[in-house]
A and B are shown apart, each in its own frame.
Chain A
Amino acid sequence: MPSAEESTISGWGGLAVPGREVFSEDLVRLSDGAVLSRGLGRAYGDSACPPADAPVVATTVLADRILSFDEETGDLRGEAGLSLRELNRLLLPRKWFTPVTPGTQYVTLGGMVAADIHGKNHHVEGCFGAHVTSLLLRVADGRLVECSPEVESELFWATVGGMGLTGHILEVAFRMRRISSPWIDAESFRVANIDVFMEKLEESAREWPMTMGWIDCRSTGANLGRGILYRGKWADPAEAPVGPPKAKRRIDMPFNLPNWFLNKGTVVAFNETMFRCHIPAKRSGIRHPESFFYPLDKVLHWNRMYGSRGFTQYQCVLPESAGRGSARRFLEHLTKELGGASSFLCVIKDCAEESQGLLSFPMPGISIAMDIAVDDRTQKLVDDLNELVIDMGGRVYLAKDSFTRPEHFRAMEPRLDRFMEVRAKWDPELKLRSAQSVRIFGDPA
């Protein structure tokens, strides 16, 4: 067995730190004395990576049982390692769906709570945490604590979006949503530039429960922020195909592609093709839920496309208060800063009300996310973008972050003190930590 010193562990972006995973079906045993829990490892940065002095994480994926499911109300309780993919496989054909889904189904219930994930329907349903009715935690002193919006609510709201730092999440209870059919009635159309994008997102939000946009972040000038807007709703049973959607076939990326594969040339070409090939300019029809919600899941290990250098995702939200032109300003800045850096995927989404989760990411405004191949300019790029975001009153998403400096995060997060207070109450010695909490919150390591 490789020792902890030799083995490494990384987030989805592939930036490795020393560490290893331990597994068990029994989370009560597994979490005993552990510094951090980890799910399917889809957080891009170091949120689910261990601190240097305790390089072991408790991975929950073997604890994947449904503990109860009420087919009248949709109330479901599951072990923290239960994946969204498994829930979709079992319950989507029966017309039950999670109230909120992120852009991948390779996430666990524990991870969905810890990151307080949001999705295409944020403007209607808010974050996942808003639908959680109860959590079973193992807190730092070893006790098992059941918390909910009513019981130990302070702990509950610190845990929702708290990146696993308030306690190990062992069980999650939430209410599944009844859907009219397991198919999506979708529309997508080309958008000429960022100003039109903002207008169309706002307009779409009024009538469509799910919206998001893909942006060509290599576009400039009059085309700046051109892209494709996607919107959808659960299909009417009369229009939907008979029978449930079949699971999509997946292809695997078996090894890292060479680092040169994604470069300015291929990225520009990819974005151009993606935009041009959306023919006709407006499409509508019934779509498979997997291809609507999880287009990237089609390729397992798509992160290997970035090669061994790894990548990060920069995701920020720009608040409404920064004005309508904020997204344009951000993109202008980005195109200038990006220089030769490779970012082939950029996603835009309007967010509604802030969650009650103390560190939950979304706030009313516009969220922009882009993948960036890591090189020696990345730290500066992130610093510059963060300064702009701070200036606008926005913030970044911890589940994606690898590079944000502590002083920048503090400037973005007036809620951080409150979070640290609650955390200190339940974990005065800061036993529960991650590589990220050491890096950003200044935890001991």
Chain B
Amino acid sequence: MKAAILGGTKGMGRSLARVLAERGDEVFLLGRDPEDLERSAQDLVPRSPQRYLVRHAACDLKRVESFGPALDAAAEALGKLDAVIVTAGLYHGQEELEEDTALALELLQVNFSNTIAFCEEARRRLLAGGGGTLAVFSSVAGDRGRKPVVIYGASKAGLSAYLEGLDHKYRADGLVTLCVKPGFVKTGMTAGLKPPPFAGDPDDVARIVARAIDAKKPLVYAPGIWRFVMLVIKNLPRFVMRKIGF
């Protein structure tokens, strides 16, 4: 598989890029900081059984104009695109977002509208190449409105709805859209938060996502236990949700 990853230098993206490289996939990195991209590229080379050179291009979810050229650079370097993966996104705590509307708007824009704009660019290119996989990290936070993630959850709920719609519309044309819903995963993004029970490990998430891409699944929870956790949460009556802090 030839895959471009946006966000592959950190957290779950780093783990996923490693899992793909180690199983022989050819990876192209998209991200903000060229020096950071180069360091991650070097990290992936000795992991690849074929010692594929890993190349990269600048792409920033805050800058819509960077999307097209970055994806073109990926397609050109890889020869073709089999998969486009998005693990990048913003996270801020609810308290912080409530106090700072500009920050909330930025988060909504990056996680929702700009991520969708990026997916649209990817969709066009994948369909033009006869199909492929678009795998995007949303979150369990989008499954139900909850106190600690009101705004972040809203951004991910919108993204999840878009991804499901896209999968319905274009699967027949060969474009598989995978919506990844990680639960709480211990990464740099969540460092400082108190891990709940069932907190996951980024390497486990990466393995689950790689398998879901192979199986052409439209939706995957990672770690798997979160599917059941969220099933319960989704079915809790409103009066209960109002009482609990989760």
In the complex, A90 Cα to B47 Cα: how many Å? 7
Whether B40 lies near A65 (C-beta < 8 A) is yes
* A interface footprint on B174-201 (CB within 8 Å = 1, 0 otherwise): 0000000000000110011110000000
Query: Which A residues are CB-close (under 8 A) to B10?
Result: 25
Q: Is the CB of A23 within 8 A of B191?
A: yes
Contact A22–B191 (Cβ < 8 Å): yes
The reply to whether A69 and B9 form a contact with Cβ atoms under 8 Å apart is no
Cβ of A56 to closest chain B Cβ, rounded Å: 11
Q: Is A2 an interface residue (CB 8 A)?
A: yes
B39 interfacial by beta-carbon distance below 8 Å: yes
Q: Is B34 close to A, CB under 8 A?
A: no
From 3 to 52 in chain B, residues with beta carbon under 8 angstroms from any chain A beta carbon are 9-11, 14, 36, 39-40, 42-43, 45-47
CA–CA, A23 to B45, complex, Å?
A: 25
Per-residue interface assignment for chain A, residues 55 to 71, with 1 indicating a CB less than 8 Å from any chain B CB and 0 otherwise = 00000001001111101
Rounded to whole angstroms, the CA-CA distance of A68 and B36 in the bound complex is 14
Residues A24 and B191 in contact in the complex (CB < 8 Å), given A65-B39, A65-B40: yes
Please state if A1 and B188 are interface contacts (CB–CB under 8 Å).
Answer: no
A65-B42 in contact given A25-B9, A90-B47 (Cβ < 8 Å): yes
| Chain B residue with Cβ nearest A24 | B188
With a CB–CB cut-off of 8 A, which chain A residues contact B193? 1
Contact bitstring A237-268, B, C-beta under 8 A = 1, else 0: 00000000000000000000000000000000
| Residues in A whose Cβ lies below 8 Å from that of B187 | 62
User: How many B residues are at the interface, by size bracket?
Assistant: 10 to 19
B194 touches A1 (CB 8 A): yes
Interface-central residue, B9, B10, B188, by most chain A CB under 10 Å: B188
Number of interface residues of A (CB under 8 A): 17
Q: Shortest beta-carbon distance, A425 to chain B, in Å?
A: 30
Residues of A within 8 A of B14 (CB): 25
Chain A positions within 8 Å of B40 at CB level: 65
Q: Report yes or no: A62 in contact with B39, Cβ–Cβ below 8 A.
A: no
Q: How far, in angstroms, from A66 to B14 measured CA to CA in the complex?
A: 12
Contact of A1 among B43, B45, B192 (CB under 8 A): B192
Chain A, residues 1-40, CB within 8 Å of chain B (1/0): the string is 1100000000000000000011111100000000000000
Contact of A23 among B42, B46, B188 (CB under 8 A): B188
A62 touches B47 (CB 8 A): no
Rounded to whole angstroms, the CA-CA distance of A6 and B39 in the bound complex is 37
Give Cα A62–Cα B39 distance, bound, in whole angstroms: 14
Q: B116: shortest Cβ distance to chain A, in Å?
A: 26
Contacts A23-B188, A25-B9, A62-B187 given; indicate if A67 touches B42 (C-beta within 8 A). Answer: yes
List of B residues within 8 angstroms of A23 by Cβ: 188, 191-192
Q: Which chain B residue shows the least CB distance to A59?
A: B191
| Residue among B9, B11, B39, B194 making CB contact with A67, cutoff 8 Å | B39
In the bound complex, CA of A399 to CA of B43 (Å):
29
A69–B46 contact, CB under 8 A? yes
Q: Looking across the interface, which residue of chain A has its beta carbon closest to that of B41?
A: A65
Evaluate contact between B188 and A71: CB separation under 8 angstroms. Answer: no
Q: How far is the CA of A25 from the CA of B47 in the complex (A)?
A: 19
Chain B residue contacts of A62, Cβ below 8 A: 187-188, 191
Report A62-102 residues with CB < 8 Å from chain B CB: 62, 65-69, 71, 90-91
Contact B43 A65, beta carbon cutoff 8 Å: yes
Please, which residues of chain A bring their CB within 8 A of the CB of B42?
A: 65-68
CA distance A21 to B186 in the complex (A): 13
Minimum C-beta distance from A82 to chain B (A): 9
Please state if A66 and B46 are interface contacts (CB–CB under 8 Å): yes
Inter-chain contact B43/A67, CB cutoff 8 Å:
yes
- Using CB atoms, name the residue of chain B closest to A79: B39
Do A22 and B192 form a contact, CB below 8 Å, given A62-B187, A65-B40, A67-B39? Answer: yes
Can you list 24 A-B contacts (CB < 8 A)? A1-B192, A1-B193, A1-B194, A23-B191, A23-B192, A24-B188, A24-B191, A25-B9, A25-B11, A25-B188, A62-B187, A62-B188, A62-B191, A66-B42, A66-B47, A67-B39, A67-B42, A67-B43, A68-B42, A69-B45, A69-B46, A71-B46, A90-B47, A91-B46
Across the A-B interface, the 5 shortest Cβ-Cβ residue pairs: A23-B191, A65-B43, A69-B46, A66-B43, A25-B10
Assuming A25-B10, A25-B14, what are 11 further A-B pairs, CB within 8 angstroms?
A1-B192, A23-B192, A25-B9, A25-B188, A26-B36, A62-B187, A65-B42, A66-B46, A67-B39, A69-B45, A91-B46
Show the binding face of B for A, using Cβ within 8 Å: 9-11, 14, 36, 39-40, 42-43, 45-47, 187-188, 191-194
